[in-house]
Chain A
Amino acid sequence: MLANKISVKVSAVEQVAPSIREYTFTAADQKLSSFSPGAHVVVEMASNDKTYRNAYSLLSDPLDTSNYRIAVRLQDKSRGGSAFMHEQVKVGDEMRISPPSNLFAPDWRAKKHLLLAGGVGITPFMSYLPEMQRRGCNLELHYMFHGEQTGAYKELLKKELGNRFVSYDSDLKQRCELKSLIKNQPLGTHIYICGPAALIEATKAIGQELSIPSSMIHYEEFATPKPGKPFLVDIQSSGKTVSVGGEESLLEALEQADVFVPNMCRGGVCGQCVCTVIEGDIEHRDNFLSEDEKVSGKFIMPCVSRAHTDRIVLDI
């Protein structure tokens, strides 16, 4: 929810892998609050013609409130946000971010934490490690990446974790045998995945196959909204009509038109942006609404979902 935004200054920018840049933010007017391991912030990127908003995991130590650090991967088919970060943001720039929120906190009851990171998905685990080390947790980090593009922080992690860290560079044909890795874990191990959808789906499928309770498998996937066919939205309260382009989400289109909708994860999981639908056929792409709610056609999650029909009417 960018309603209570924090102003920050970019104090450092560092290339940490061929396609990944790390940004350090320091407080501009109010002090930065501490956060919990796994938290993310939504960064507002204002360019001349468009404002982008993307969620990024904080990778710094939660107890260190002198700065927040995030890492941004330049997406191959960037919708604009990561391209903006890589091309336009430099040291000294002022930006606005949301306060940290957390949808990916560790389960501290775990006897062992098995962390599976794919590419830039290493970032939330970087904020896990300091607290897990402080608590003396049993942990293991498996990091899968393409050496040519990603693989940031691998030397640092190797140094810190020793043999609790295993890396797999797919450019060197190193593969992680997920199924045997998971199968051989001791009782009480919780599994955490952050990375591309394929990695998350593969792990979930293995979990199902091996009858591992889903409450032991935790994942965070920053689903970027996928493109779709353009459509129109009528705003009930004002009578305004907003047009949603093929490459932007309904939420983004509304924000561009100065129609504010509460939101948090911007990826279809948290439920904050739910809107009531008065008319129109919805294409649900979220992971929040129940089956009944989706079938009823009365609700939509504008951050990821779209319309089947050319026009919908929202009660906002």
Chain B
Amino acid sequence: MRIAPKDVQSFRDDFTYTNSPEAIRRFPFPFIDDEYRYSVNLEAHQPKDGEGSVYEKFLDIDEHYLSEMAERAKVLEAMPSRCLAMPHMDIACWDLVERIMKSFVQDYPQYFSLTTNGDKWLWENKLLSIKDEFIFGDSTSLPMSPLEYIGRQVQGDFSILDQRNGDLFMDAGIITCPADWSLAFDAGMSFSEWHGPVPMAHSEGIFDRALKYLTMLQVGSPVRRLNWTLTVNARMDTSPETYSEWGHERASITPENVGEKIYLRVELQVIDRLPRSNALSFNIRTYLISLEDLVTNPAWAKRMHRTMKTLPPQLVDYKGLTRFHPMVIDYLSQYDPIK
């Protein structure tokens, strides 16, 4: 039974964020082997794992919806530049508005409704008490840019990639919960350029193959993959922009608090072809679980111990885990018969 959005909890300051037992049960645990390595782990985004799973709907709305929308609003208030759309991406942004609205109405009819009369659209979002009339395709008929408008109503970051010359370019996005990358800096980069800093993947041809595959994606056949890192506290906004505010937390981990303060951060990335613009939308949906909640699942605890233990040093460094990685391994080792 899918849990309805609960009251707002915080992803900063006092960190009141919690996961219900159901949220823990449905968490998208990313490790499929006892060793983790980069791969082109794209698969068709078809429903999996039954009713209420994170993979059931095109976009997942869970108990944290209101919390994440409140957090997004805070980030955009402080830094409007976290939402960016180059002028030629206007059609793609409207494609995204349509895609999200129609899929929400289909998948969550209890929360959303859409009435269209030609290009006059009436949209209702009961969760956020939004009821707006606008002209589809006319950005002046919305209170803000179409990307910001819809972005403030859906969990997870979005980047929109323009497809040109067999390559993908990050020409639009709303990014308020990044795992340490900057939209303002990466704007306009090509697929291999924005993946520039990632170690150990370029020489294996992973990005070339992924790019070839993604440029051939068709409308109606979205794909997904999982990405992961570790975050200190349930902090959504781990952007480089605000690193000065949260960086010190990495140095605050002790063997006593590691289970409580270290969170496994998993991104469910959903990539979908947009029909009118031929662009690709890239939803980066972020799930957070503390280690102490994670270890309530013995299989996860054991597997995660092993993947952490065998993680190559370059990946430990690149993901920013250096200061507390040994403590994470020690903490998890108590759940693994093989130390």
Q: How many residues of B contact A (CB 8 A)?
A: 14
Residues of B within 8 A of A33 (CB): 219-220, 275
- In Å, the complex CA distance between A108 and B163 comes to 11
Q: Is the interface of A mostly helix, strand, loop or mixed?
A: loop
Residues of A within 8 A of B277 (CB): 36
Binary B-proximity of A188-220 (CB < 8 A = 1, otherwise 0): 000000000000000000000000000100000
Residues of B at the A interface (CB closer than 8 Å) are: 88, 163-165, 212, 216, 218-221, 275-278
A34 B276 Cβ-Cβ under 8 A: yes
Q: How many residues of A contact B (CB 8 A)?
A: 23
Does A224 count as interface, using CB distance less than 8 angstroms? no
Given A36-B276, A107-B165, A215-B165, 10 more contacts at CB 8 Å? A33-B219, A33-B220, A36-B275, A63-B276, A101-B218, A101-B219, A102-B278, A105-B278, A109-B164, A270-B216
Does A99 count as interface, using CB distance less than 8 angstroms? yes
Residues of A at the B interface (CB closer than 8 Å) are: 1, 4, 33-36, 39, 62-63, 98-102, 105, 107-109, 215, 264, 270-272
Residues of B within 8 A of A109 (CB): 88, 164
A35 B275 Cβ-Cβ under 8 A: yes
Residues of A within 8 A of B212 (CB): 271
Residues of B within 8 A of A105 (CB): 163, 278
Top-4 shortest CB links A-B: A36-B278, A101-B218, A34-B275, A105-B278
A264 B218 Cβ-Cβ under 8 A: yes
User: Smallest CB-CB separation from B95: which chain A residue?
Assistant: A34
**Known contacts being A34-B275, A62-B276, is A99 close to B164, with CB within 8 Å?**
no
- In Å, the complex CA distance between A247 and B153 comes to 54
**Known contacts being A34-B275, A102-B278, is A264 close to B219, with CB within 8 Å?**
no
Distance between A221 CB and nearest chain B CB, rounded to angstroms: 16
- In Å, the complex CA distance between A82 and B300 comes to 57
Residues of B within 8 A of A34 (CB): 275-276
Residues of B within 8 A of A215 (CB): 165
Residues of A within 8 A of B220 (CB): 4, 33, 99
**Known contacts being A36-B275, A105-B278, is A99 close to B219, with CB within 8 Å?**
yes
- In Å, the complex CA distance between A108 and B165 comes to 11
Distance between A292 CB and nearest chain B CB, rounded to angstroms: 12
- In Å, the complex CA distance between A72 and B276 comes to 24
User: Smallest CB-CB separation from B218: which chain A residue?
Assistant: A101
- In Å, the complex CA distance between A309 and B311 comes to 47
Residues of B within 8 A of A272 (CB): 216
B276 A35 Cβ-Cβ under 8 A: yes
Distance between A27 CB and nearest chain B CB, rounded to angstroms: 14
A1 B276 Cβ-Cβ under 8 A: no
- In Å, the complex CA distance between A264 and B221 comes to 12
Residues of B within 8 A of A36 (CB): 275-278
- In Å, the complex CA distance between A271 and B212 comes to 8
- In Å, the complex CA distance between A215 and B88 comes to 19
User: Smallest CB-CB separation from B277: which chain A residue?
Assistant: A36
**Known contacts being A1-B221, A100-B219, is A107 close to B276, with CB within 8 Å?**
no
**Known contacts being A107-B164, A215-B165, is A264 close to B216, with CB within 8 Å?**
yes
- In Å, the complex CA distance between A263 and B88 comes to 30
B275 A1 Cβ-Cβ under 8 A: no
Counting chain B CB atoms within 10 Å of each CB, the highest count among A62, A101, A215 belongs to A101
User: Smallest CB-CB separation from B276: which chain A residue?
Assistant: A34
User: Smallest CB-CB separation from B273: which chain A residue?
Assistant: A101
- In Å, the complex CA distance between A264 and B212 comes to 14
Residues of B within 8 A of A100 (CB): 219, 275
